[in-house]
Amino acid sequence: MAKKNPGDVLSGDWNPVIGCERYSAGCRACWYLDGIFPWQQRLGNIPAGVRPDESHAFPKRLSEDALYPKNGIVGVVQHGDLFWEKVPEATIDTVLSIVDAVAARKRRTPKYLLWTKRARRMAEVLTRRYPAGLPGHLAVAVSVENQATADERLPELARVKGTRVVVLEPLLGPVDLSAHLPLEWIIVGSETGKRARPLDLAWAREIRDQAIGHGIPFFIKQLGTSHKDQLRELDGRTWDEFPKGFVK
């Protein structure tokens, strides 16, 4: 993840567990499988024998000391999907226990963002672990790419009490969110890369108008087919709104 990209909603990330498999149409140009994994393995940061489609935990990263220095908005397991079925439940619990323990030690607590497409497993795990709702330091984001994935995944997100985020990236079609409110943050982004499927600005406008209409913070990551073109403006301005308490 490019840390200087203004379209990034995160201050940093923590990846004690890696691994994923393509799950839906939004995964076609997966930046982790196609970019981060082979690059990090070439650098020797991922052992040579580890495959991208296996869940791998790094003992040194899976510690409070590794997470403690990170501040702002911290993405938890960005290199894969924490709620992928191949990630053992015990590993998910360890990750969440470290986050909770570090949050309890910090004077200014960061916001830790869990980010997934596997909304059903996410909801099962989080409602079991936090029956009264997510603690204030945690937020959960579900990625969707079109109306069908929104209608499948967002009812699962609605089962979780707390800060709920929908990430419409890569946005591949129009999405009406009205059946899935309330939400605490709406993020839109296009697909990028050589074979990127372009985003129709009308889709972004409709979602922006839904966000405005319901008073939900709205953020556009990028609208073009490349991060480099910095195409982030919609109707003459950028949209960089964060929920209250989220400071990058």
Rounded to whole angstroms, the Cα distance separating 230 from 221 reads 9
| 37 Cβ contact partners less than 8 Å away, ≥ 6 residues apart | 18, 46, 52, 79
Return residues touching ligand SF4 (CB under 6 A).
Answer: 20, 22-23, 27, 30, 32-33, 80-81, 117
**Minimum CB distance to ligand SF4, residue 70 (Å):** 20
Q: Are 106 and 132 in contact (CB under 8 A)?
A: no
Rounded to whole angstroms, the Cα distance separating 138 from 122 reads 13
**Minimum CB distance to ligand SF4, residue 27 (Å):** 3
**Minimum CB distance to ligand SF4, residue 143 (Å):** 7
Q: How many CB atoms lie within 10 A of CB 127?
A: 15
Smaller CB distance to ligand SF4: residue 28 or 129? 28
**Minimum CB distance to ligand SF4, residue 16 (Å):** 15
Rounded to whole angstroms, the Cα distance separating 189 from 106 reads 32
